[in-house]
Structure 1
Amino acid sequence: MDQLERPRPGIIPLILMGALTGLLSGLFGIGGGVLLVPMLVLFLGFQQRLAAGTSVAAILPAAIVGGIGYAVQGNVDWVAAPLLAIGIVIGAQLGSFLLSRTPTGFLRWMFMVFLLAVAVSLWFVVPERDDTIEITVLTGTLLVLTGLLTGVLSGLLGVGGGVVVVPILMFFFGASDLIAKGTSLIMLIPGSISGTIGNSRRRNVDLRSAAVLGIAASVLSPLGSVIATWIPPFWSNVAFSVLLGLILIQMLVRVLRRKR
């Protein structure tokens, strides 16, 4: 059966997944794909490729609303965000191209390795709340390259890019955790649009499911951005790494069961 001909998932499960994704998206400054892709695969039977494409599309409303929430609080770097966006728009097209030509099994293992690397890195990145990004020619160039890498991962794995950009902005560019999260969400807006256009052309996105997920996510995303200001940076990192670890374990168990 073609991946787009399978039975449509129910509205209620999509709303619940979208709401949870939106809350955590605002809380951690991620688009939500790192949570949404495994949930779509594990609970709604999406193929990895379709889950990745649908996640990229669903990220858009949550990124817009969550980004506005951070911007209102003054937690967006308006110079770094467009520089990252330049790279992510180009990279998302490349990633969506590779998505249609990469074996599903390889994608799944690549995604799990990616989750593990991010979860471990979060224990070593503990920023200060008053840290800012110093923009120079060098850092500007590196921000564009970071966006390019993020865009490829976004299109290929269905992650919004926040799980890549937030740790990088904190660890390599000296941003505070709130600035990193807010800037990441703003950057994801053009990246999501670019990736979705590419995935739609290659039939790697369920637009109906993405719309329901995205609308539900956008409702709770602002709440997550407010809660983020109440949590100390270290404990925010710990919580995020634990969440990623639980997702990784679920996916690993499922893969091992299929091999029996």
Structure 2
Amino acid sequence: MLPGPGRRTGADVGDGVVERMRGPRAVASFIGIGLAAGLLSGLFGVGGGTVIVPLLVLLLGFDQRLGAGTSLAAIVPTAAVGVISYAVHDAVAWIPAIILAAGSVVGAQIGTRLLPRISQTALRWGFVGFLAVVVVSLFLVIPSRGAVLELTWVSGPLLLVLGLFTGVLAGLIGVGGGIVVVPALMLAFGTSDLVAKGTSLLMMIPTAISGTIGNLRHHNVDLLAAALVGVAACTTTALGAWLATLIDPFWGNVLFAVYLVFIAVQMALKAIRGRRTRTA
């Protein structure tokens, strides 16, 4: 029998990896990863892929593509619960999120086509620089909880451009849209932190569904892992969103800045390893 999506044979990666992926320890790991990802997703308005992918790779022997595809599938229910949680507090800009998603879906296709032509090391260092600017900006601009995301003839096209840029970056580097969209909505559009997070989560749903369909066709999704991670994440996403409403916007920015620094360090380490591999 041929292995299903996400199930590897001993000839592929060794019997030990299969046992870890399907044994009790693997199930516990999937649930733990989901709990952590869900909390961060609700708290910061991100998909949680920046937590899910490295943990699947490091703890359970997933390769990068399988980890990314599994993470994207798990993000769909996680983001849906997050949207509901933020919508309860009237913190979701529905139409702007659809515009962002439209740009992101198109941008992701562009990014994947550009991927073979651009140096991943240069891209990663560029993204690290971008995150550094964002982190500094988060301490200079504190969002107002009363600010809304108004849709105008100017902001509409700009949202489409932001979605396009986010999608291209996701296709090139594999980062989730929330890392770009949340700070952009707060800093460039003057949106409140809660609306930025809720809108970001809504934008992710159609983007993640589109990506997951493609990954399923290429057998880059472990359905069992995605289900366990996704269901576990759903149990803590609402908690994260609730905590976000309790945290002062300034301290919310501080926590988000710490998260972005963590991502930047991860990206810098990948860039350094990539450079060493080429020079070895």
Judge same fold: TM > 0.5, yes or no: yes
Distance 1:216 1:157, change over 3 A: farther
Unaligned runs of 5+ in 1: none
1:175 matched to 2:191? The reply is yes
The residue type paired with residue 29 of structure 2 is P
Partner of 1:228: 244
1:257, distance to aligned residue in structure 2 (A):
7.5
Give the one of 152, 158, 161 matched to 2:168: 152
1:38 matched to 2:54? The reply is yes
Distance 1:203 1:175, change over 3 A: same
Asked if the contact 1:92/1:194 (under 8 Å) is kept, the reply is no
Asked if the contact 1:92/1:155 (under 8 Å) is kept, the reply is yes
* 1:174-232 per-position Cα deviation (integer Å, ceiling 9, x unaligned): 11100000011111110100111222233333333222211111111001000001111
Decide which moves more: 200-209 or 212-221.
Answer: 200-209
Distance 1:25 1:191, change over 3 A: same
The residue type paired with residue 134 of structure 2 is S
1:23, distance to aligned residue in structure 2 (A):
0.4
Partner of 2:76: 60
* 1:53-110 per-position Cα deviation (integer Å, ceiling 9, x unaligned): 22222111110001100001100112211111211222334445566x589xx65774
- What is the rounded CA distance, in whole Å, between the counterparts of 1:199 and 1:109 in structure 2? 26
Secondary structure in 2 matching 1:213: helix
TM-score normalised by structure 1 residue count: 0.85
Q: Which protein shows a greater Rg?
A: 2
Give the one of 126, 130, 144 matched to 1:117: 130
1:240, distance to aligned residue in structure 2 (A):
2.1
Partner of 2:33: 17
Give me the identity figure in percent.
Answer: 51
Secondary structure in 2 matching 1:123: helix
Unaligned runs of 5+ in 2: 1-5
Give the one of 218, 225, 250 matched to 1:209: 225
- What is the rounded CA distance, in whole Å, between the counterparts of 2:170 and 2:249 in structure 1? 25
* 1:128-163 per-position Cα deviation (integer Å, ceiling 9, x unaligned): 111112211221111112112222333443433111
Give the one of 177, 190, 195 matched to 1:161: 177
Secondary structure in 1 matching 2:136: coil
The residue type paired with residue 145 of structure 2 is R
Decide which moves more: 135-144 or 186-195.
Answer: 135-144
